[in-house]
């Protein structure tokens, strides 16, 4: 049984609150639209390619709201009910082809017919050209309807990597087909012996002078590696192509390139049988002297192109995680509003009420963090494009003060978002099962599937442990200097806030938490490598909580009725965690010292 809803966007006041009040569209939209260039072209030429372009920020917001409302309706009427049907029928491998369940075919059909397969791509290639921030909202909505289905529009977004790094010929050849849904996309990274250790990938590619290639190797855990459209799947494939003077392949990340291969030239070896996300077919593929095309420059496949790809994917999984938290919360609230025990609705039992409150605050905290991160990404990507349109080279644009600032912030906030939202999605799915009690452990209600689906979120596109590694350097650097880019940005979030008197003490607590982390980092930097590896999560998590606390302060100012109490609870728990972490590291640090008695 699933939640009864007519539109998952319109029933979500927090998402609408962010759309209308929290996102800085006045900065994001002009950068994304490059001062409304497409609108001006349409006005001058009447070219129907740009018919949906708009000329003001307000019109852009209306467009995004329309897109999200349409997705919210599809999520409610199609994705919620289809999730169970897809799981019951399942994907099947027959004669080397993956057979799709009827309900999954319907999902693909409605997403395609309604133009949701190319949300990020430029209008001139048939896309909707929405910013990352609006796209994360869209991903969240699809994932609220079905967590596993959230991977489908996400893989279509891989077209954006082709747009950023591919040639004009590749743009014209592939992007219109991806935007229309005629062609799907997937990334071929993981190999049987190399997952997180991607720099040692062994798939080989021989690249000719014209950029054509022959590719051989095995790739596994390929999300949407099975074609869902008539045009098949285009694969963004990491392969070792750079050779040394003696003709042997160069080892390490510098030897890897990004190639485009196609599903018609790959054999599906197996269909993975997973714990969850059964709306997302995952396969193992074999390439045997398969034709391919070089993307960009040889040797930059991992160190530049795949890192861009992974950062985008990690933010997408963070949004997917918010959707998972949202549906766990909604299912739990509905059940608690109907289930009677001891003569009362269980939502009135304090222990259950506390779990529901924790789920709601956690979900809203994740959403605020993910949307803020997406805004930062929108700004630095938009600045790069703006400066290049002004005549700068890409390298010159990336050296500007504004670009460097937002790029640095994105490098910290992206792993923050993936780590926090994914871990909280798992906690909220766990809490959801607990709210349901014994029946939650059965398949009668969707909370069991949500629990299974959520588990992957802290694993794929970089485990939580890897997100800690990715964020730690930024935290240590950011908290080592009062005028660091990170701390200056964090201070700007709390600067000049017109706080109510009742909230001023909470601002002091946020500043106190920040100060404790500064002191913690000063000590932590001098610890052994082993100690830092063991307790990095505690330090990074503390920094995440302090950052989100700043967002809650902002939200409490914008809408005190909706956010004030939640901000107070979150900030109290933040400070308690940061204090306990500081004390823990101090005590454990004593154990890290050499034993003088030996």
Q: How does DSSP classify residue 484? A: -
Cα–Cα distance for residue pair 359/362, rounded to 1 Å: 5
Mean pLDDT for each 10-residue chunk of the chain (598 residues)? 71 97 98 96 96 97 97 96 96 96 97 95 97 98 97 93 96 97 95 85 95 96 94 96 92 94 97 96 97 96 90 96 98 97 96 98 98 97 95 94 96 98 98 98 96 97 95 97 95 93 96 98 94 96 98 97 98 98 92 61
**Strand extents, DSSP E, 296-428:** 340-341, 344-345
The b/e string for 273-308 (b: 16+ C-beta within 10 A; e otherwise) is ebebbbbbbbbbbebeebebbbbbebbbbbebbbee
Neighbours of 246 (CB within 10 A): 5
> Which H or E run contains 403?
helix 401-436
CATH of 168-298, one of 2.60.120.640, 3.20.20.210, 2.40.110.10, 1.10.150.120: 2.40.110.10
In this prediction the pTM is 0.96
What's the pLDDT at 193?
A: 86
Torsion over CA of 38, 42, 43 and 46, rounded to 10 degrees? Answer: 170
User: Residue 217 pairs with which residues in a beta bridge?
Assistant: 287
Cα–Cα distance for residue pair 313/158, rounded to 1 Å: 9
What's the pLDDT at 3?
A: 43
**Strand extents, DSSP E, 77-129:** 92-94, 97-99
Residue (of 538, 556, 558, 559) closest to 548 by Cα position: 556
3-state DSSP assignment of residue 282: strand
Cα–Cα distance for residue pair 542/573, rounded to 1 Å: 11
Residue (of 414, 406, 399) closest to 380 by Cα position: 406
* Cβ–Cβ < 8 Å for 91, 98: yes
Q: Which residue has the tokens 């200097």?
A: 481
The per-residue DSSP string of 429-451 comes to: HHHHHHHHGGGGGSSSSTHHHHH
């Amino acid at each position: 049984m699933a939640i009864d809803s007519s539109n998952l966007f319109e029933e979500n006041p927090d998402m609408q609150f962010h759309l209308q009040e929290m996102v800085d569209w006045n900065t994001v939209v002009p950068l994304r639209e490059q001062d409304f260039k497409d609108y001006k072209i349409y006005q001058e030429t009447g070219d129907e390619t740009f018919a949906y372009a708009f000329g003001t920020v307000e019109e852009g917001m209306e467009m995004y709201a329309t897109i999200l409302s349409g997705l919210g309706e599809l999520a409610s009427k199609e994705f919620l009910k289809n999730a169970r049907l897809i799981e019951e029928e399942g994907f099947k491998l027959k004669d080397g082809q993956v057979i799709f369940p009827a309900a999954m075919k319907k999902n693909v059909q409605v997403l395609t017919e309604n133009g949701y397969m190319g949300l990020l791509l430029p209008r001139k290639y048939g896309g909707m050209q929405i910013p990352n921030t609006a796209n994360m909202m869209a991903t969240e909505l699809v994932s609220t309807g079905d967590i596993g289905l959230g991977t489908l529009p996400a893989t279509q977004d891989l077209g954006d990597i082709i747009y950023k790094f591919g040639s004009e010929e590749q743009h014209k050849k592939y992007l219109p087909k991806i935007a229309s849904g005629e062609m799907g996309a997937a990334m071929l990274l993981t190999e049987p012996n190399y997952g997180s250790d991607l720099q040692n990938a062994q798939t080989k590619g021989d690249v000719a002078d014209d950029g054509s290639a022959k590719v051989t190797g095995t790739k596994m855990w390929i999300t949407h590696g099975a074609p869902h459209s008539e045009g098949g799947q285009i694969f963004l494939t990491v392969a070792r192509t750079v050779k040394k003077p003696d003709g042997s392949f160069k080892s390490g990340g510098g030897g890897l390139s990004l190639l485009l291969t196609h599903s018609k030239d790959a054999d599906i070896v197996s269909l993975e049988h997973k714990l969850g996300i059964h709306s997302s077919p995952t396969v193992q593929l074999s390439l045997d002297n398969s034709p391919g095309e070089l993307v960009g420059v040889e040797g930059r496949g991992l160190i530049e192109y795949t890192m861009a790809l992974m950062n985008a994917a990690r933010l997408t999984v963070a949004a997917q995680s918010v959707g998972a938290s949202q549906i766990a919360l909604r299912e739990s609230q509905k059940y608690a509003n109907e289930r009677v025990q001891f003569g009362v609705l269980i939502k009135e039992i304090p222990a259950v009420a506390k779990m529901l409150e924790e789920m709601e605050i956690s979900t809203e905290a994740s959403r605020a963090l993910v949307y803020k991160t997406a805004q930062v990404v929108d700004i630095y990507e938009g600045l790069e494009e703006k400066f290049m349109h002004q005549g700068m080279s890409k390298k010159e644009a990336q050296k500007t003060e504004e670009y460097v600032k937002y790029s640095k912030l994105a490098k910290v906030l992206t792993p923050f978002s993936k780590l926090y939202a994914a871990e909280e999605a798992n906690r909220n799915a766990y809490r959801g099962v607990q709210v349901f009690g014994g029946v939650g452990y059965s398949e009668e209600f969707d909370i069991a599937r949500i629990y299974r689906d959520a588990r992957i979120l802290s694993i794929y596109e970089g485990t939580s442990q890897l997100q800690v590694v990715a964020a730690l350097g930024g935290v240590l650097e950011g908290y080592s200097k009062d005028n660091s880019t990170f701390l200056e940005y964090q201070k700007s979030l709390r600067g000049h806030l017109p706080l109510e008197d009742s909230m001023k003490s909470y601002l002091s607590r946020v500043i106190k938490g920040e100060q404790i982390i500064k002191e913690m980092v000063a000590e932590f930097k001098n610890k052994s490598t082993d100690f830092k590896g063991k307790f990095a999560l505690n330090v990074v998590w503390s920094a995440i909580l302090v950052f989100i606390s700043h967002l809650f302060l902002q939200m409490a100012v914008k809408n005190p009725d909706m956010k004030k109490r939640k901000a107070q609870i979150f900030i109290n728990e933040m400070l308690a965690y940061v204090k306990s972490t500081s004390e823990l590291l101090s005590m454990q640090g004593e154990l890290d010292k050499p034993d003088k008695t030996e």
